[in-house]
Amino acid sequence: MLDYYTMIIFGAQHQVDLLNKILWSLITSKFIFSLLLFWEPNTIQKLGLKSKTLYNKPTL
């Protein structure tokens, strides 16, 4: 009987841990996504400049 209750408690704890992991992953992914959106124009310009300079290089 005691093992049954401990199993239920540990199962519930496992579910709570899983929910916490899901919640934290959602929060961190949202934070990372907003950072990417914030930095995106600069990186696009840099990539564009790099690709233009590479494209205009004369082939030897």
What Cα–Cα distance (Å) separates residue 57 from each residue in 43, 51, 53, 60?
21, 10, 6, 9
pTM for the model = 0.40
Residue 60 maps to a domain: no
Q: 40 is in which domain, residue-wise? A: 25-52
* Opening angle at CA 55, ends 37 and 43, nearest 5: 15
Question: Does any domain span residue 3?
Answer: no
**Residue 32 domain flag:** yes
Number of compact structural domains in the chain: 1
pLDDT per residue, tens digit, the chain (60 aa), is: 567 767 776 677 777 788 888 888 888 888 877 777 776 656 655 655 555 555 555 555
Residue 59 belongs to some domain of the structure: no
pLDDT at residue 46, as a whole number: 61
Is 46 a domain residue? yes
pLDDT recorded at residue 58: 58
Residue 38: inside a domain, yes or no?
A: yes
pLDDT, residue 41, reads: 59
Question: What DSSP state is assigned to residue 30?
Answer: H
